[in-house]
Amino acid sequence: MSGARSRKNAITEITNRAPKLVDQTDPLSKIWATDVFSLSAMEEALSKNAFKAIKKTVQTGAELDAATADIVAAAMKDWAIAKGAKFFSHIFYPMTNVTAEKHDGFIVTNSDGGAITEFTGSLLIKGEPDGSSFPNGSLRMTNAARGYTAWDPTSPAYVMHTANGATLMIPSVFMSWTGEALDKKIPLLRSNKAMDTAAQKVLTLMGETEIAPLNSSCGAEQEYFLVDEHFANARPDLLLAGRSLFGAAPAKGQQFDDHYFGAIPARVQVFMQDFEDKLYRLGIPAKTHHNEVAPGQFEIAPYYEAANVAADHQQLLMTLMKSTAKEHGFLCLLHEKPFAGVNGSGKHVNWSVGNSTQGNLLDPGSTPHDNLNFLLFCGAVIRGVHKYGPLLRAVIASAANDHRLGANEAPPAILSVYLGDQLESVFKDIKAGKLLEKAKGGLMDLGLSQILSFERDPGDRNRTSPFAFTGNRFEFRAVGSSQSVSGPLVAMNTMLADSLNWIADKLESVIAKGEDKTAAVITVLQELMELHGNVIFGGDGYSSEWHTAAVEERGLKNIPTTADALPAFKDPDVVELFKSTGVLSPAELASRFEVYAEQYILSIEVEAKLVVGMASTRIYPAAMTYLNNLASTAANLTKLSVSIGQDSLEQVASETDTMMAAVAKLKEALSIEEFDSVEAHMNHCAEILCPLMLEVRNSADSLELVVSDELWPLPKYQEMLFIK
């Protein structure tokens, strides 16, 4: 990387560069999952019995005995060493959105000074990374900072290569020494279990006799921006905050819609191929990629997988995306809103639940019998989104995502459910009792099969809904591009578990009164719709009418900022939800509130400091130089009795003054350190710091449009977005 830190150097460097060529001609069959200790790699390496045991653990979550763990550890070590690994690492997912790893060598020295390699079952199963600096929301005192990682056999281990070697990576959970969850994986595994238990109850009541364990699935579409590293190096805001804190709108933005699905620029294409090649070797099923709406914005979507594996893969994908982009001379921006006035980036989390015996429970199927199960599960989701809307808003809350939600491009900050016309009318009929009359009249076939299977190809998508049914799954579209998918998955699985428990109780009592199954289902769903049907909305979620109607007529909540959203974690209903399902204890949940609030405050404060610094040391000097140029030109011209330029002189002078006055106010606001509560501190960020940052920015952006292009220090929007 050459050190072009000025805007002009950056442009010269970029114009002279060629795509980095990488050889990716190996066929998929040769590279697919070659770096994964997959079931098939295990089958090759293990005895029949050991393989049978580990396979059962992987597929059903059954406990693994110590002897088998030892055998698996030995085989895993040999496999990794053959691939060049000298180190191993438990990889884990702290409460922040990062991925963490601590590397240890396989090496052990013996008394003769020789080196051997060693890796036992106990080393595989448990690590002690300490990790006392990870935020834990008061769950650990710093003097009792022990934290443990423990192997999660249900997510496959793999080898990561760098230019200098390889490391065996072991997906793990991360907990305190008292066994409390300090990470995002433990609640995800627990929420899956809670959902399974509740779903089993409902399916049993529905007369199913063979019911395999249920699992949630996730397919995440990831949007991102690529900016040439030379531009990024000249923009401290992009480097440190991941977004531009200054920048006037370009004359040409995305108004022509000519970037969406357009031809991918050559350098980006090469990056994508390189990146996808890496994903394939790691067993991540990258399926589609294309340009997104904004210039310089792209999307990648892997094929869906079991939620726990998909979540680990998603973290790995984000890490790899950033490092591969760097190799190609790009900064990869996963921030939700890197450029004001240009579309932001989201992560659509596609989610369904199912098993090997009943299949996907969110797939309407083609028979009435499937339809009844489907209607119950779909109803359970509707109830969940209604009852726990504020929680769903809280799990996608971040300083960055606040710029996106509720704006005119991304799903609103109001949680509603989109079902599509046909399904919506089925649920309306249920609410109106129409289907109940049919069911009671002994008509087993509700005629739903035709209607619902029709719906499976949802030609018409509602892009404005935060939570949409898309044929055989729900798509949570309001998730932010930089976020871990685990938080949203935990919330969805847990609310589903709660709703299924509610449904099971109701069904049981209705069936006990002698109603037949079909009538019982409709009765329960009718009550559910009475209570929660308000959350269904098929119209334009961006419109101002909806913003008013949602709140005033439907009683839904519009929650615009993270400061407003995070307190949902303290809501007694939410505390009870997590406690009753066993997903998070009240202490674990409270720690999450603290960690997320701290993250929010830190990121806004970092941005505010950057705004002060960049305005004072880059924009102010440029404006003053320009002012000086203007003044001396004007003075010279006055000598010639020509008087022009006074207007621009005054404009630049007053805009610069206004900007520096806002900078002074922002500095002052930043110096306040004492707050009565975390909530008060968050509000200070949302209500004081954010508007002041905007005030500085507005002046700076006006200056950008008048100060000489020659003198402007920061790469401009049109350069960063269009030059690749």
Note the residues at the interface with Mg ion (CB under 5 A): 221, 348
Residue 473 partner contact from Mg ion, ligand ADP, none using kind-dependent CB cut-offs of 5 to 8 Å? ligand ADP
Of Mg ion, ligand ADP, none, which one does residue 219 interact with (CB within 5 to 8 Å by kind)?
Answer: ligand ADP
Q: Which does 351 bind (CB under 5 to 8 A by kind): ligand ADP, Mg ion, none?
A: ligand ADP
HSE-CB at 498 with a 13 A cutoff on CA atoms is: 25
The answer to the question of residue 350 lying near ligand ADP (CB under 6 A) is yes
Residue 244: name its binding partner from ligand ADP, Mg ion, none (Cβ under 5 to 8 Å by kind).
none
- The C-alpha atoms of residue 376 and residue 373 are separated, in whole angstroms, by 5
Residue 694 CA to residue 517 CA, distance in Å, equals 59
For residue 77, the partner it binds in ligand ADP, Mg ion, none, with Cβ less than 5 to 8 A by kind, is none
By CB under 6 A, the residues from 444 to 473 that bind ligand ADP are 472-473
Q: Which residue among 222, 352, 401, 581 contacts ligand ADP (CB under 6 A)?
A: 352
Within 194-253, the residues that bind ligand ADP by CB under 6 A are: 217-219, 221
Which of 304, 546, 596, 600 forms a contact with ligand ADP (CB under 6 A)?
A: 304
The distance of closest approach from Cβ of residue 301 to Mg ion in the complex, given in angstroms and rounded to an integer, is 8
| Residue 72 or 306 having the CB closest to ligand ADP | 306
Interaction partner, residue 217 (Mg ion, ligand ADP, none; CB < 5-8 Å by kind): ligand ADP
Residue 90 near residue 151 (C-beta atoms within 8 A): yes
- 292 is a contact residue toward ligand ADP (CB under 6 A): no
The answer to whether 356 contacts ligand ADP (rule: CB under 6 A) is no
Which one of ligand ADP, Mg ion, none is in contact with 379 (Cβ closer than 5 to 8 A by kind)? none
Residue 713 touches which member of Mg ion, ligand ADP, none, C-beta under 5-8 Å by kind:
none
Residue 609 CA to residue 587 CA, distance in Å, equals: 33
In the bound state with ligand ADP, the residue whose beta carbon lies nearer, of 301 and 372, is 301
**Cα–Cα distance list, 342 to 225, 292, 405, 620 (Å):** 11, 11, 14, 26
| Paired strand residues for 174 | 149
Q: Which helix (H) or strand (E) holds 507?
A: helix 486-512
Least Å distance, CB 456 to ligand ADP, is 11
> How far apart (Å, rounded) are the C-alpha atoms in residues 193 and 581?
9
Q: Could you say whether residue 377 binds ligand ADP (CB under 6 A)? A: no
Choose from ligand ADP, Mg ion, none: what does 121 bind? Cβ within 5-8 Å by kind: none
Q: Is 179 left (phi over 0), alpha (psi -120 to 50) or beta?
A: left
472 binds, among ligand ADP, Mg ion, none (CB under 5 to 8 A by kind): ligand ADP
Q: How far apart are CA 295 and CA 168, in angstroms?
A: 38
Binding to ligand ADP (CB under 6 A) within 471-530 occurs at 472-473
d(CA 613, CA 193): 49
Q: How far is the CB of 452 from Mg ion (least distance, A)?
A: 21
Q: Give first-to-last CA distance, the chain, whole Å.
A: 16
Which lies closer to Mg ion via its Cβ, residue 337 or residue 347? 347
Question: Nearest to residue 693, comparing CAs of 245, 241, 236?
Answer: 245
Using the rule CB under 6 A, give the single segment among 350-358, 550-558, 573-581, 696-704 that binds ligand ADP: 350-358
Instruction: List CB contacts of 384: < 8 A, sequence separation 6 or more.
Output: 492, 495, 496, 498, 499
In this chain, which of 9, 132, 360, 718 binds ligand ADP, going by CB under 6 A?
A: 360
At its nearest, how many Å lie between ligand ADP and the CB of residue 561?
Answer: 27
Q: What does the radius of gyration of the chain's CA atoms come to, in whole angstroms? A: 28
- CA–CA distance, 434 with 453 (Å, rounded to integer): 20
Complex with ligand ADP: residue 200 or 472, whichever CB lies closer: 472
Residue nearest to ligand ADP (CB): 219
Interaction mask 130-149, ligand ADP, x per CB under 6 A: --------------------
User: How many CB atoms lie under 10 A from the CB of residue 694?
Assistant: 14
Is position 303 an interface residue for ligand ADP (rule: CB under 6 A)?
Answer: yes
Which option in ligand ADP, Mg ion, none does residue 373 bind, with CB closer than 5 to 8 A by kind?
A: none
Within 13 Å and on the Cβ side, how many CA atoms surround 691? 7
**Per CB under 6 A, which region of 158-166, 171-179, 299-307, 500-508 contacts ligand ADP?**
299-307
**Secondary-structure breakdown of the chain: helix, strand, coil percentages, each rounded to the nearest 5:** 50, 15, 35
What secondary structure letter does DSSP report for 83? T
Q: Which is nearer to ligand ADP, 268 or 612 (CB)?
A: 268
CB of 321 to ligand ADP, least distance (A): 16
**Measured CA angle at 227 (ends 224, 233), to 5 deg:** 130
Instruction: Looking at residues 158 to 187 of the shown chain, list those that interact with ligand ADP (rule: CB under 6 A).
Output: none
Nearer to Mg ion, 176 or 352 (CB): 352
- Three-class SS of 623-684: HHHHHHHHHHHHHHHHHCCCCCCHHHHHHHHHHHHHHHHHHHHHHHHHHCCCCCCHHHHHHH
Closer CB to Mg ion, residue 343 or residue 499?
343
Distance in Å, CB of 341 to ligand ADP, minimum? 24
Q: Is 708 in the site for ligand ADP (CB under 6 A)?
A: no
How far is the C-alpha of 218 from the C-alpha of 348, rounded, in Å?
10
Q: What is the dihedral of CA 270, 276, 280, 286, to 10 degrees?
A: -140
Residue number with CB closer to ligand ADP (343 or 350):
350
Helix axes 486-512, 572-580, angle to 10 degrees: 80
Total residues interacting with ligand ADP, rule: CB under 6 A: 16
Q: Are strands 330-333 and 215-228 parallel, antiparallel or unpaired?
A: antiparallel
**Minimum distance from residue 9 beta carbon to ligand ADP (Å):** 38
CB atoms < 10 A from the CB of 646, how many?
Answer: 11
What is the distance between the alpha carbons of residues 628 and 620, in angstroms, rounded to a whole number?
12
Stretch that binds ligand ADP, among 83-91, 193-201, 301-309, 662-670 (CB under 6 A): 301-309
In the complex, the smallest distance separating the C-beta of residue 301 from ligand ADP, rounded to whole angstroms, is 4
Q: Least distance (Å) from ligand ADP to the CB of residue 624? A: 49
Site mask for ligand ADP (CB under 6 A), range 251-290, x = bound: -------------------------------------x--
User: How many CB atoms neighbour CB 441 within 10 A?
Assistant: 8
Q: Which residues bind ligand ADP (CB under 6 A)?
A: 217-219, 221, 288, 301-304, 348, 350-352, 360, 472-473
